[in-house]
Structure 1
Amino acid sequence: MTINATPLTPALGARIDGIDLTQMTADDQRTVYKLLLKYQVLFFRGQHLSPADQASLAERFGRLHIHPIYPKVEQQPEILILDTALNDLRDNALWHTDVTFIETPPLGSILNAIQVPEYGGDTLWASSSAAYDALSPPIQQLIDGLDAEHDIQLSFPDERFSTTAEAQQQVAKARQDHPPVIHPVVRVHPDTSKKGLFVTPGFTRRIIGLSALESRALLELLFAHSTRPEFSVRWHWQANDVVFWDNRITQHYACNDYHLQRRVMHRATILGDKPKGP
């Protein structure tokens, strides 16, 4: 079969047909990665991945991250579980780029839909490069040389993740092992050289070198600008959908609008490189 890509919006996103991800060849892998660089988020319908299949697929693109807080598949700890029956998932209902609280944030993530609500539970992605390109030249010049602090505590606060003694110990260890890190506000993609905003409400606490008022004002501007509808794509999940996104040049938001329904996702997270600025 021939791999076909159908673009979904001008900014990012393509539906990919003509491939079984459990049978991917080396040529298929190269094609998928080229499409990832072009479209930033790839959507696959009708895939049937076991946790081992998903880990094997993700490992073709790099080493896998093991999350310090979320539960994992027992026999496959590289696969974290996002299950409304197990987790408080409100931290996903804000714009974020995965795991920017480490020195080498992920290259990408692969999300596998195990159980989805009958309605609701969509996920949106936004192109960080489209957002940067749409900024005025004076703002681009201002932010090109700035750095920001990213902090795990922003998305994993005590009031939701330290509700038991065991959870308190887990969260405390995660914070000890992952102190705040500094990344450029504008990241240059290592493979395409595109510039993209690298700040999100999920993990970015402050801009280095600015006053608290200046930092807050500039971050609020960038947060609001980067998630405008024209930079985004929205996906309505079906069971056995798989989505692969470039975490270096996108952010995403999981809608928390499906209460009393269950939603179960498995995620593999592929480690990347240390972000570099312009």
Structure 2
Amino acid sequence: MGTELTGLRVQDLGQCDSAALQQLVTARGVIVLRSQNLDTNSLIKFAALLGDVVAHPMKPHDFHPQAFRLHNDGDSTYADGDTWHSDLTWMKAPPLYSVLMLDTLPSIGGDTAFVSNHALLQSMSPTFRDFIGRLNAVHQRTWNGEILAAAHPMVVRHPISGLPCLYANSGYTTSINGLRASESDALLAHLRMTVALGVDFQCRAAWQEGTVAVWDNQAVQHHASWDYHPDTRSGWRVTVKAAQPTPAT
């Protein structure tokens, strides 16, 4: 899992490259492009090759409403992405792809780890896979006192590859429909441990100046390491191609 591309300028890509780009991201889960020279508008234009932009519903930026600003520094009490998650899964139709560019890097650390949702699922026993494949889970986020939530299958069929993928994460998945609270909590705790210990199915992206990362939110989930405090880590994320998850069975 994971591919690093060098010698390619994303400004040279056009709509004719869209299908090939989607296939590559789907196949590899995450791709990292080095030595790019992009401003925020250019990043949004590149991301749009993957599909329609999904504006962040909670924090639209004044100058770039199609992009989400990530920023953590010495005054931060938490870090964006400091848990295993897929982006915006509390939406009814979450984005299929995310594109991230950092413009301020810490002196050390700040890597992003990725884990394959398909490989995680395949590592489980067939009986357990069949069990969770019949379940739906609630994904939610609270913002300004409002609960934003959606229910999705715990095992989804990827819309391009057709592969079954685990679709539950510790960032936003809060409960499992049809189970008692104690059963739901125990199952989600087991899945969190499975993800955390799934080092055989992970890769890490180390950030450099000019790095752009693209990942598939159904094929992988990710975790941004907050190991750089009190340094600053800032950047822009664009999410694209709203896709309502569909059950694998």
Same fold per TM (> 0.5)? yes
Give the equivalent residue in structure 2 for 1:136.
125
Task: Answer yes or no: is 1:194 the counterpart of 2:182.
Answer: no
Q: Structure 1 residues 264, 22: closer, same or farther in 2, change over 3 A?
A: same
Q: How many Å separate the matches in 1 of 2:71 and 2:88?
A: 18
Match for residue 214 of structure 1 among 183, 192, 195 = 183
Aligned twin of 1:233: 203
Residue 117 of structure 1, aligned match among 106, 126, 149: 106
1:203 aligns with 2:167: no
User: Identity of counterpart residues, as a percentage?
Assistant: 30
Confirm or deny: 8 A CA contact 1:91 1:202 kept in the other structure.
Answer: no
Alignment partner, residue 79 of structure 1: 67
Deviation readout 1:96-119 (Å, 9 max, x if unpaired): 110001110111100002111110
1:9 corresponds in structure 2 to none
Residue deviations 1:113-163, cap 9 Å, x none?
A: 21111101111011100100111111011111100011112xx6xxxxxxx
Are the equivalent residues in 2 in contact too, given 1:132–1:197 (CA < 8 A)?
A: yes
Distance in 2, matches of 1:71 and 1:56, equals 17
CA–CA distance in structure 1, aligned partners of residues 80 and 212 of structure 2: 21
* Aligned-pair CA distance for 1:70: 3.5
Shift of residue 207, structure 1, vs aligned partner: 0.6
Asked if the contact 1:70–1:82 (Cα under 8 Å) also holds between the matched residues in 2, the reply is no
Deviation at 1:240, TM superposition (A): 1.3
CA contact (8 A) 2:71 2:80 kept: no
1:59 to 48, 70, 76: 48
CA distance in 2, matches of 1:67, 1:33: 21
Partner of 2:24: 35
Report Cα offsets for 1:216-266 as digits up to 9, x if no partner. Answer: 111111121133111111111112100000011211101111112111111
Please tell me whether residue 25 in structure 1 is matched to residue 11 in structure 2.
no
Contact 1:106 1:248 in 2 (8 A): no
Counterpart position of 2:192: 223
Instruction: Tell me, in whole angstroms, the C-alpha distance in 2 between the residues paired with 1:88 and 1:126.
Output: 26
Indicate which of 152, 175, 190 corresponds to 1:183: 152
Q: How many residue pairs are counted as aligned between the two chains?
A: 246
Distance across 2 between alignment mates of 1:61 and 1:184: 24
Unaligned runs of 5+ in 2: none
Q: Which letter maps to 1:77?
A: P
Alignment partners' CA distance in 1, 2:80 and 2:109: 17
Q: Tell me the secondary structure at the aligned position of residue 67 of structure 2.
A: strand
Give the root-mean-square deviation of aligned CA atoms.
1.7
Correspondence for 2:2: 13
Matched, 1:273 2:229: no
TM-score by length of 1: 0.84
Instruction: Give the letter aligned to residue 208 of structure 2.
Output: Q
2:37 aligns with 48
Tell me, yes or no, if the aligned pair for 1:188 and 1:194 is still in contact at 8 Å. Answer: yes
Give 1:89 shift: 4.4
Report the secondary structure of 2:236's partner residue.
strand
Q: 1:88 to 1:63 in 2, by over 3 A?
A: farther
- TM (norm. structure 2) is 0.93
Distance 1:90 1:206 in 2: 23
Greater fraction helix: 1
